[in-house]
């Protein structure tokens, strides 16, 4: 079975010790974070008190007599290393914050684009719903067609081919094709039955 290449790692010498360039930065950041805790301050205070007490009281164990030059040197060395570690931790945190801000900016841009798209879609739907014909529009159109047909009928006049029917008093053909006789009650009160 052929070995797959791991494309996430560059090709190079294999088998040798691998060095992580970010490992020191992570260690320094962890130490800087620990230096800012109350636990570290409590431990350091206890050690300083014990150091001073032993050098003042125990004459045989006195390794750093007053004015405690060795203790001052230890504090100076600690401060010399603590300041760069704190700065390194702050730089790494600033890098993380910058990446997070970029990610938030991209997310906000996507959300804004989606909101604008939805607003345009809703506006288009509202416009299409407003343009849709409702019952009143259809009734108005039917009234206009009826009036237009009546005016056209008044302008054209009666059909010459239907003169004999009108003289005989018969109405136009019904739905089944037969002629209707006029009803005795008047022109608007009903029609007669269809002749066969």
Q: Give the integer Cα–Cα distance in Å for 64 and 72.
A: 10
pLDDT in tens, 20-58: 767 878 888 888 888 888 899 999 999 999 988 888 887
Q: Are 181 and 168 in contact (CB under 8 A)?
A: no
Structure-token match 């205070």, residue found: 45
pLDDT of amino acid 119? 94
- φ/ψ region of 77 (left if φ > 0, alpha if ψ in -120 to 50, else beta) reads alpha
Distance CA(196)–CA(192), nearest Å, equals 12
Residue 139's pLDDT is what?
84
> What confidence score (pLDDT) does residue 9 get?
64
Q: Show the low-confidence residues of the chain (pLDDT under 70).
A: 1-19, 21, 59, 157-196
Q: Which residue has the tokens 């150091």?
A: 51
Whole-number pLDDT of residue 37: 86
Supply the pLDDT for residue 109.
94
Buried b (16+ CB within 10 A) or exposed e, 95-114: eeeeeeeeeeeeeeeeeeee
The pLDDT assigned to 106 comes to 94
* Predicted local distance difference test score (pLDDT) of residue 178: 47
């Amino acid at each position: 079975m052929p070995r797959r290449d791991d494309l996430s790692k560059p090709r190079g010498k294999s088998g040798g010790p691998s060095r992580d360039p970010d490992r020191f930065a992570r260690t320094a950041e962890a130490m800087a974070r620990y230096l800012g805790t109350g636990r570290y301050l409590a431990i350091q205070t206890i050690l300083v008190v014990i150091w001073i007490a032993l050098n003042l009281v125990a004459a045989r164990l006195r390794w750093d007599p007053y004015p405690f030059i060795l203790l001052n040197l230890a504090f100076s060395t600690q401060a010399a290393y603590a300041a760069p570690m704190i700065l390194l931790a702050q730089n790494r945190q600033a890098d993380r914050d910058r990446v997070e801000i970029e990610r938030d900016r991209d997310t906000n841009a996507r959300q804004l684009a989606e909101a604008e798209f939805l607003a345009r879609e809703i506006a288009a739907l509202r416009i299409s719903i407003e343009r849709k014909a409702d019952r009143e529009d259809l009734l108005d159109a039917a009234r206009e067609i009826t009036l237009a047909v009546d005016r056209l009928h008044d302008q054209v006049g009666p059909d010459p081919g239907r003169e004999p029917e009108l003289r005989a008093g018969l109405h136009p053909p019904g739905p089944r094709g037969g002629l209707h006789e006029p009803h005795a009650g008047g022109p608007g009160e009903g029609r007669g039955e269809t002749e066969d």
